Structure 1
């Protein structure tokens, strides 16, 4: 994907003390820049709201370059997210190792012309929040219904509230004396009132 010369340029561009809050993707692409580092998960507010626990961080490695006139972002995001299992509502460890392949565009027309292997990164101004870019990619990597691989939903947790002998539980119940709510409609229909 990158030759040795490219990699040495990337390493020179990476020497930042910490990741910037805002980035200029087009400028980074022109300079063949790279960003490597970590962002705490609790800083990604929309993602953090979906997590069982927002401790930990996401490791990012992003390379910016141009392919002809197209500015691109390639790289990888790695994190272990603590999701909430939709069966048992307990923590579910979800490893993410997501490949990033974005084409930087400023209009829908440009997005429609992107090669198939690229997803559009819509740039509305010159800069964008780095954490927003990372958060969007992580949100796309989440499963719709996170569930443990094992049978975590055990009926034993709920059986203590249910009578063991169903026949006994219904003996003391009397038939409901409430009138059927639709009987009024049936009476109206029969009498011809409207």
Structure 2
């Protein structure tokens, strides 16, 4: 068991040794994810286990973190807890991936080593919704808190066809 997580891992060697990696990462170390969150200094708790299932190497584990995303309705900070588990089977070709059991996702190994950071980042990105929003009507709640909000001012807009309505009444 290790507290420091390596970036590059050899999943075949780790599976032979039945290794366990547990520790934490900063979101700032994950390039794609850090561009999507408000707080890049938050920790990601990771527990990764390597094993053999028959002749196949299997990587399984869990990821826990609390992401601060931007709500796509009100543009305020939205706390999004992530608690997920994964199970990946190491394959060397797409044909092998097609033959996997249903409880495993493929991990295509095209060299000797795999980036553990990329693997963790991919799993988190798959768990984030395309359009994160609060579970309630956040815009209505925001409007009720704003004393200067005038509901009529937003409903009355310039209608580009108002000239046509006048022409219709006058018959010109």
TM-score range, shorter chain: 0.7 to 0.9
- Structure 2 CA distance for aligned equivalents of residues 164 and 22 of structure 1: 54
1:17 Cα offset (Å): 5.1
Change beyond 3 A, Cα 1:165–1:55: closer
1:53 Cα offset (Å): 2.4
SS of 1:139's partner is helix
1:18 Cα offset (Å): 1.4
Determine whether 1:57 maps to 2:37: no
Determine whether 1:28 maps to 2:30: no
1:175 Cα offset (Å): 3.9
> What is the match of residue 141 of structure 1?
127
Determine whether 1:47 maps to 2:33: yes
Equivalent positions of 1:124-163 (< 5 A) are 124-154=110-140, 156=143, 159=149, 163=153
Determine whether 1:105 maps to 2:95: no
Runs of 4+ with >4 A deviation: 157-162
1:143 Cα offset (Å): 1.3
The structure number with the bigger radius of gyration is 1
1:52 Cα offset (Å): 2.5
TM-score relative to the length of structure 1:
0.73
Equivalent positions of 1:9-20 (< 5 A) are 14=1, 16=2, 18-20=4-6
- Structure 1 CA distance for aligned equivalents of residues 96 and 155 of structure 2: 67
SS of 2:125's partner is helix
Change beyond 3 A, Cα 1:126–1:147: same
What RMSD over aligned residues (CA atoms) do the two structures have, in Å? 2.4
* Deviation by residue 1:92-125 (Cα, 9 ceiling, x = unmatched): 1111110111111111011111100001111111
Aligned residues: 157
Determine whether 1:38 maps to 2:28: no
1:164 Cα offset (Å): 7.5
SS of 1:134's partner is helix
- Structure 2 CA distance for aligned equivalents of residues 163 and 22 of structure 1: 57
